[in-house]
Structure 1
Amino acid sequence: MNVQDMMVFRDAGSRTVDKYLMSYEAHVIAVRRHPAVLLQPVAETLGGLLVAALVHTYTGLALLWIPWLLLVGRLVWKLIVWSMEFFLVTEHRVMMVSGVLNRKVAMMPLGKVEDIKLDRSPVGRVLGYGEFIIESAGDKQALRNVTYMPYPEQLYVEISSMVFGAEDESPD
């Protein structure tokens, strides 16, 4: 199974992905960021729950439930943002689609990509994500660091083969 079989969302999210593609773009890799993006908001919400429950239990003060509800609302918002954010690669360009109310599309033509670097922190290695650093000839780049990418090695090989024209000649 290659990386495209694991990552293409053409069936599940085809309306979300397809509206950013040109009619001639067929080969698409579309991935969401790794769910590790949500670890901090989840931890903060659970910590707030613990603090609110302890304060309410020992003091009877129920006022801390209101800030905790705000934390829950923030977590729901982060989940919505995560679900609507896509990293797309076609045979012509690389894009990052983000935003809920105000959609943003950062795009770089594949021909302008000079180098792709993969950076994996120790936590990223354990959890299975990495960061791509995409370099081009231009000074101001709309798409440079793409963090929390799932399947980083497979995705790196697939994108590199699209950018630099290498074909996988393995027997598998």
Structure 2
Amino acid sequence: MAVLPRFLTDPQIGRHLLRDEGEVIVDEVGKHWVVYVVPVLIAAAGLVFLIGSAVWSITWAWFPMLLGLGLLTWAGWKALSANLDRFVITNMRVFRVHGVLARSLATMPLGRILDITVVKPMTGRILGYGHFTFESAAQDQGLRDIRFVGRPDERDLSIQRVVQRSGLRGPKVN
């Protein structure tokens, strides 16, 4: 039996696909493992407070116990939120699904992608993650910044490959 129901732990990407139009997933990108470091540290602090509450007097033990439970809950929420944040590349578009209780879906057709900027900070170059910035003709869009993408160079090449195969950039010149 699962601790959390499946609808809380699975972003259910398949229900957003246009299967009758022939849309298939090229790549589904979850967050890089580095986003889980802070929730793990917060959870460890929560455990320290929970265990530490045993050495306090019975009249004051409730305070570190509540603090520890609060930190564990917050860390679990942050980790679950990172787990449900998915960036998906299909043969027709790119989209992002995120949110725990309320889900958000931001979509951009491949034809509207004008420019992709890949930023790899120094820690990202060492640990293998980067951030994407999508530019399109629209000023405000829901799919602009995708942060903590693992293997960003490979993901950028797969997007460029899908755009090229779809014929949106014109034929290759020899």
Give the alignment partner of residue 35 of structure 2, picking from 37, 45, 49. Answer: 37
Q: How many residues align?
A: 152
Is this contact kept in 1: 2:46–2:72, CA < 8 A?
Answer: no
Tell me which residue corresponds to 1:21.
17
Tell me which residue corresponds to 2:101.
101
Tell me which residue corresponds to 1:156.
156
Tell me which residue corresponds to 1:85.
85
Note closer, same or farther for the CA distance 1:93–1:68 as it changes in structure 2 (3 Å cut).
same
Higher Cα Rg, which structure? 2
Note closer, same or farther for the CA distance 1:65–1:27 as it changes in structure 2 (3 Å cut).
closer
Aligned-pair Cα RMSD in Å? 2.3
Q: Which amino acid aligns with 1:86?
A: R
Shift of 1:49: 3.6
**Structure 1: segments with no counterpart, 5+ residues:** 1-12, 167-172
Is this contact kept in 2: 1:34–1:148, CA < 8 A?
Answer: yes
Q: Which amino acid aligns with 1:31?
A: V
Q: Which amino acid aligns with 2:40?
A: V
User: Where in structure 2 are the equivalents of 1:110-125 lying within 5 Å?
Assistant: 110-125=110-125
Query: Counterpart of 1:158 in 2: which secondary structure?
Result: helix
Q: d(CA) in 2 for partners of 1:85 and 1:99? A: 7
**Structure 2: segments with no counterpart, 5+ residues:** 1-9, 170-174
Query: Counterpart of 2:114 in 1: which secondary structure?
Result: strand
Query: Counterpart of 2:12 in 1: which secondary structure?
Result: helix
Shift of 1:37: 1.4
Shift of 1:106: 0.6
Q: Using the TM superposition, name which of 143-152 and 75-84 deviates more.
A: 75-84
- 1:73-117 CA-to-partner distances (Å, cap 9, x unmatched) read 112222222222211111211100011221110111110000001
Shift of 1:26: 2.0
Q: d(CA) in 1 for partners of 2:137 and 2:72? A: 43
Q: Which amino acid aligns with 1:97?
A: V
Is this contact kept in 2: 1:116–1:160, CA < 8 A?
Answer: no
Q: d(CA) in 1 for partners of 2:16 and 2:160? A: 22
Tell me which residue corresponds to 1:3.
none
Q: Which amino acid aligns with 2:32?
A: H
Query: Counterpart of 2:138 in 1: which secondary structure?
Result: coil
Q: d(CA) in 2 for partners of 1:46 and 1:91? A: 42
Return the TM-score normalized by structure 1.
Answer: 0.77
Is this contact kept in 2: 1:129–1:152, CA < 8 A?
Answer: yes
Return the TM-score normalized by structure 2.
Answer: 0.77
Query: Counterpart of 2:16 in 1: which secondary structure?
Result: coil
Is this contact kept in 1: 2:25–2:88, CA < 8 A?
Answer: no
Q: Which amino acid aligns with 1:99?
A: G
Q: Which amino acid aligns with 1:137?
A: A
Q: d(CA) in 1 for partners of 2:49 and 2:84? A: 31
